[in-house]
Amino acid sequence: MPWTRRHLITLEELSVEEIDQIHATATAFKKILGRTVKKVPALRGKTIVNLFLEPSTRTRMAFDMAAKRLSADVISLDGSSSSTTKGETLRDTAQNIEALQADMIVIRHAAAGSPLYLSKILGIPVINAGDGAHEHPTQGLLDTFTMRERLGSLKGRKVVILGDILFSRVARSNIHALNKLGANVTIVGPSTLVPAWFTTLGVSVSHDLRSALEDAEVVMLLRIQHERQTAGMFPSLGEYTSLFGLNKTRASWLHPKAIIMHPGPINRGVEIDSELADGEHSVILEQVTNGIAVRMAVLYLCSGGQPEAVVTSD
Amino acid sequence: MPSSLWIQKARVIDPAAKRDAVGDVFIKDGVFVASLSAADKKRAKKIDGRGLVACPGLVDIHVHFREPGQTHKETIESGSRAGAAGGFTTVVCMPNTAPVADTAGTIQLIKDSIARTACIKVLPTGCITVGMKGEALAPIGSLKRAGVVAITDDGDCVQSNELMRRALEYARMFDLPVMDHCQDHSMTQGAVMNEGAMSTRLGLRGWPHAAEDLIVSRNVILSTYTGAHVHLQHISSRNSIEIIRRAKSRGIRVTAEATPHHIALTEGSLATYDTNFKMNPPLRTEEDRMAIIDGLRDGTLDILATDHAPHTDYEKDKEFDFAPNGILGLETALPVCLDILVRRSRFKLATVIDLMTRKPANLMKLNAGTLAAGAPADLCLFDPAEIWTYDAKAGFSKSSNSPWHGQKLTGRVKTTVVDGRVVFDRGRIVGR
């Protein structure tokens, strides 16, 4: 099937085939990253604007890198340098960017739904780089890409997402992608941060770390934000770590070949033991590298490129 | 202009008189009369009511006309025109203007504008607390003397139980109803929609119904304790309705309202983050929606009120988190209620009209809501079967923030009469 999608707003709306196509295309692009000349002319002459209205380092750098590897011109704007601080509306900011003849907008915004809103206003492709607690589709794509590289098919695999699920767009995007790819997803953490509503998204909800981790082939940790503590979501980081922090003993409950993932930035000693973060099961830095390849694929496909053939379609 | 009006052969519905039959309505010198003399009949302006329903002018005790201070959204003039177009002849304005209506001077300013510009009866409310800040009682006695018909802090629900208790005790001295928007703010920080499966999916901050239930309970308890009347605004939660039902069965003096949008829509409409579905309290679940309809059916919820809340396009056209709460209501309330309550929920037409006329008028002790001889001749004439497409941008409100924009509605107001004068007729404002 040819690729027709111009915007990437959510993983909830992608088909399995589209995820496969993005992953197949990312596999091809990843090879380029290993070359001496890490650049292809796929998007030469195109201008991509990274409109990051919420702070980000990793995602923004990865989008920047991905666009440059495809030979696009890149302009990055952040919240403090854009006119939003002068009271300009998002509509006006975005329409100005379009009028400046940008070919694509990558947007990170604290308000859920903003990328969808922009996609309805603008005539150029809009890529969601994270909207509030809603979705972070390229993160979900790079995470499942990494899992598939390590494990092959995800059908029937037990995947655990551990931490601050309530406010996590990474969790939501991964839940949608993993469900589509056939994994069995369990989310685990304190009951205030992992509310039962999530069962309606098709995952198991647990507050018992041992049963959740047992035989899991993937554990994905999410950063615990200190602000949640002052909001009364849990008593202290210390108590969180004692109940839900991943340490060596707890990691031993996992499947022997399990991989440990984290979208970053990590809090060493809070959600994960420092040793584990650097250990043999950790794929945290692979995720970062794969993030470039996956974003190259997304930028390329949404600019009108066609996907690589899908080899294994599960 | 003739001082007599003769509405002929309409289906006349007057819940106060238990009247629902085809017949005529006579008006002379601004009041309803039982009949007209032969000479008056000759001179009277005649309105063909065949196929139409004639009922008391609709009464809405919850609107925002944004004057003074926010007249880019709405004015008393534009709001009253929207009301007339929707069949409303009496509306009660909320005090969350700029400045808020917490002094007799501001009430006088509002009343002056009403006298100059309103084409229907517009009645002001005053604040419960100074600046609507929830810290100190507003000059409620002066507000009463200046002409307010109720006090409320509207969207800024009084959080202090002690202050609310004192407000109820104090207002009781003036027989002023206290209206409360029931929301425990500590539970709704940053909240923009109902908390539940949908907010989980959309990643939006949830407003749990428990935050409404808590303040509803608080108000029931304080009403019991003080004996004062508390009116609970726009109830949205199934649990709240159960609490009110129990309170009423024990004879406690609480009344409650439901909005057209809470009986027509649910949080499911939010899937595309359309800010014309963002309001406070938020749209909730199908179970809540059904419970509100049942509450109206058994009288737990006393009346319908629109919470007509205009905001400009450029204010609403924003990220969902940043858009203001509220939607228009006056021009769509009647057809929406006819559809949801009469057509889909098998309410009698007269029951729905009662919920929009006599009952809200009685609740506020207003001389309105009836076609009885001697009563002010406020009347609404509508075609219950006309199908039309609502264009919010072509409406009479200054704003167009309506979830029904572009939708086909059934039932359309043809003529609105205030004190015997035709103010709205077939799509046009014709008088004041």
In the structure, what pLDDT confidence band is assigned to residue B192 with cuts at 50, 70 and 90? Answer: very high
B46 in contact with A, Cβ within 8 Å: no
Q: What is the pLDDT of residue A83?
A: 67
A109 & A59 share domain: yes
Q: What is the pLDDT of residue A60?
A: 95
- The residues, any chain, with a CB within 8 Å of residue A238's CB and separated by 6 or more, are none
Angle among Cα B96, B98, B99 to the nearest 5 degrees reads 95
Q: How far is CA B291 from CA A18, A267, B75, B208, B235, in A?
A: 42, 46, 34, 16, 10
CB contact under 8 A, B197 and A200: yes
A35 & A111 share domain: yes
Q: CA–CA separation, B342 vs A63, rounded Å?
A: 55
pLDDT averaged over every residue in chain B = 97
Q: Which residues of chain A are within 8 Å of residue B272 when distances are taken between CB atoms?
A: 116
What CATH number does domain B4-54+375-429 carry, 2.30.40.10, 3.40.50.1980, 3.40.50.300, 3.60.140.10? 2.30.40.10
CB contact under 8 A, B200 and A131: no
Q: How far does B237 lie from chain A, in Å, by closest CA?
A: 18
CB contact under 8 A, A132 and B201: no
Q: Which residues of A163-183 are buried (b: 16+ CB within 10 A; e: fewer)?
A: bbbbbbbbbbbbbbbbbbbeb
> Across the strands, what pairs with A268?
A272
Q: Specify the amino acid at residue A14.
A: L
Q: CA–CA separation, B188 vs A134, rounded Å?
A: 19
Characterise A189 by phi-psi region: left (phi > 0), alpha (psi -120 to 50), beta (else): left
Does pLDDT of B360 surpass 80?
A: yes
Q: Which residues of chain B are within 8 Å of residue A89 when distances are taken between CB atoms?
A: 314, 317-318
CA dihedral of A65, A285, A57, A299, whole degrees rounded to 10: 40
A146 & A206 share domain: yes
Q: CA–CA separation, B351 vs B21, rounded Å?
A: 14
Q: How far does A104 lie from chain B, in Å, by closest CA?
A: 20
Of A201-215, A221-235, B75-89, B259-273, where does mean pLDDT reach its minimum? Answer: A221-235
DSSP letter at B343 equals: I
B270 SS3 class = helix
Are B54 and B13 spatial neighbours (Cβ–Cβ below 8 Å)?
Answer: yes
A118 & A141 share domain: no
B197 in contact with A, Cβ within 8 Å: yes
Q: How far is CA B214 from CA B129, B187, B207, B230, in A?
A: 20, 10, 13, 15
- Cβ-count burial of B27 within 10 angstroms (0-12 exposed, 13-18 middle, 19+ buried)? buried
Q: Specify the amino acid at residue B200.
A: T
A54 & A157 share domain: no
Q: Which residues of chain A are within 8 Å of residue B314 when distances are taken between CB atoms?
A: 89
CB contact under 8 A, A201 and B318: no
Q: Which of A206, A213, A173, A214 is nearest to A189 (CA)?
A: A206
B200 in contact with A, Cβ within 8 Å: yes
Does pLDDT of B39 surpass 80?
A: yes
A107 in contact with B, Cβ within 8 Å: no
CB contact under 8 A, A134 and B314: no
CB contact under 8 A, B272 and A116: yes
Characterise B419 by phi-psi region: left (phi > 0), alpha (psi -120 to 50), beta (else): left
Interval B110-139 mean pLDDT: 98
Q: How far does B313 lie from chain A, in Å, by closest CA?
A: 12
A60 & A180 share domain: no
What percentage of chain B's residues is helix, strand, coil (to nearest 5)?
35, 25, 40
Interval B35-64 mean pLDDT: 97
pLDDT in tens, chain A (314 residues): 899 999 999 999 999 999 999 999 999 999 999 999 999 999 999 999 999 999 888 999 999 999 999 999 999 988 766 666 678 899 999 999 999 999 999 999 999 999 999 999 999 999 999 999 999 999 999 999 999 999 999 999 999 999 999 999 999 999 999 999 999 999 999 999 999 999 999 999 999 999 999 999 999 999 987 777 767 899 999 999 999 999 999 999 999 999 999 999 999 999 999 999 999 999 999 999 999 999 999 999 999 999 999 986 56
Task: Assess if residue A60 is contained within a domain.
Answer: yes
This model of the complex carries an ipTM of 0.95
Characterise A123 by phi-psi region: left (phi > 0), alpha (psi -120 to 50), beta (else): alpha
Chain A residue at shortest CA distance from B271? A113
CB contact under 8 A, B203 and A114: no
CB contact under 8 A, B318 and A109: no
Q: How far does A263 lie from chain B, in Å, by closest CA?
A: 18
Selecting from A89, A90, A135 the residue whose C-beta is nearest the C-beta of B203 gives A135
**What percentage of chain B has pLDDT greater than the value 70?**
100
Q: What is the pLDDT of residue B431?
A: 84
Q: CA–CA separation, A170 vs A147, rounded Å?
A: 15
Q: How far is CA A82 from CA A52, A54, A65, A87, A119, in A?
A: 9, 11, 21, 10, 19
Interval B76-82 mean pLDDT: 98
DSSP alpha helix (H) spans, B266-389: 286-298, 313-316, 333-337, 349-356, 358-363
A128 & A141 share domain: no
Q: How far does A114 lie from chain B, in Å, by closest CA?
A: 6
Selecting from A113, A195, A201 the residue whose C-beta is nearest the C-beta of B319 gives A113
> Across the strands, what pairs with B27?
B5, B32
For the stretch A17-72, pLDDT in tens is 999 999 999 999 999 999 999 999 999 999 999 999 998 889 999 999 999 999 99
Selecting from B195, B201, B273 the residue whose C-beta is nearest the C-beta of A116 gives B273
CB contact under 8 A, B322 and A112: no
The residue behind tokens 């399990």 is A258
Provide the sign of the torsion angle of the four alpha carbons A241, A243, A249, A251, taken in this order.
Answer: negative
What range does the domain containing A55 cover?
A: 16-135+288-302
Q: Which two tokens stand for residue B108?
A: 């006088």
The CATH number assigned to the domain holding A166 equals 3.40.50.1370
B286 in contact with A, Cβ within 8 Å: no
> Across the strands, what pairs with B53?
B11, B382
The residue behind tokens 């605004």 is B233
DSSP letter at B338 equals: I
Are A52 and A76 spatial neighbours (Cβ–Cβ below 8 Å)?
Answer: yes
CA dihedral of A198, A199, A201, A202, whole degrees rounded to 10: 150
Q: CA–CA separation, B340 vs B346, rounded Å?
A: 9
Task: Assess if residue A239 is contained within a domain.
Answer: yes
For the stretch B127-149, pLDDT in tens is 999 999 999 999 999 999 999 99
CA dihedral of A307, A311, A312, A314, whole degrees rounded to 10: 10
Are B118 and B65 spatial neighbours (Cβ–Cβ below 8 Å)?
Answer: no
B394 in contact with A, Cβ within 8 Å: no
Q: How far is CA A111 from CA A67, A114, A167, A171, A215, in A?
A: 25, 6, 12, 17, 37
Does pLDDT of B2 surpass 70?
A: no
Domain range list for chain B: 4-54+375-429, 63-363
Task: Assess if residue A6 is contained within a domain.
Answer: no
Q: How far does A106 lie from chain B, in Å, by closest CA?
A: 16
In the structure, what pLDDT confidence band is assigned to residue B94 with cuts at 50, 70 and 90? Answer: very high
Q: What is the pLDDT of residue A81?
A: 64
A118 & A223 share domain: no
- In this structure, are strands B254-258 and B230-232 parallel, antiparallel, or unpaired? parallel
Q: CA–CA separation, A64 vs A59, rounded Å?
A: 8
Q: Which two tokens stand for residue B239?
A: 């649990």
A193 & A297 share domain: no
Q: Which residues of chain B are within 8 Å of residue A137 when distances are taken between CB atoms?
A: none
Q: Specify the amino acid at residue A43.
A: L
Q: CA–CA separation, B383 vs B352, rounded Å?
A: 15
CA dihedral of B176, B305, B87, B123, whole degrees rounded to 10: 20
A64 & A106 share domain: yes
The residue behind tokens 């666009």 is A67
Q: CA–CA separation, B144 vs B150, rounded Å?
A: 8
Q: Give chain A's domain count.
A: 2
Are B95 and B393 spatial neighbours (Cβ–Cβ below 8 Å)?
Answer: no
Q: Which residues of chain A are within 8 Å of residue B267 when distances are taken between CB atoms?
A: none
CB contact under 8 A, B321 and A89: no
Task: Assess if residue A39 is contained within a domain.
Answer: yes
Are B130 and B138 spatial neighbours (Cβ–Cβ below 8 Å)?
Answer: yes
For the stretch A132-157, pLDDT in tens is 999 999 999 999 999 999 999 999 99
- The residues, any chain, with a CB within 8 Å of residue B89's CB and separated by 6 or more, are B56, B57, B58, B59, B83, B120, B121, B368, B378, B379, B380, B416, B417, B418
CB contact under 8 A, A113 and B201: no
The residue behind tokens 């007057």 is B14
Are A160 and A216 spatial neighbours (Cβ–Cβ below 8 Å)?
Answer: yes
β strands within B191-295, DSSP E = 193-194, 206-207, 230-232, 254-258
Cis peptide before A265 (omega within 30 of 0): yes
Interval B241-256 mean pLDDT: 98
CB contact under 8 A, B202 and A113: yes
Q: CA–CA separation, B239 vs A142, rounded Å?
A: 43
Q: How far does A133 lie from chain B, in Å, by closest CA?
A: 4
Radius of gyration of chain B (CA): 21
Selecting from A90, A91, A201 the residue whose C-beta is nearest the C-beta of B201 gives A201
Catalytic residues of B: 307
CATH topology of domain B63-363: TIM Barrel (3.20.20)
- Cβ-count burial of B162 within 10 angstroms (0-12 exposed, 13-18 middle, 19+ buried)? exposed
DSSP alpha helix (H) spans, B121-208: 140-146, 161-172, 197-202
Selecting from B196, B199, B317 the residue whose C-beta is nearest the C-beta of A91 gives B317
In the structure, what pLDDT confidence band is assigned to residue B209 with cuts at 50, 70 and 90? Answer: very high
Selecting from B197, B202, B319 the residue whose C-beta is nearest the C-beta of A114 gives B319
HEC sequence for B358-417:
HHHHHHCCCCCCCCCCCCECCEEEEEEEEEEECCHHHCCCCCCCCCCCCCEEEEEEEEEE
Q: Which of B21, B7, B34 is nearest to B349 (CA)?
A: B21
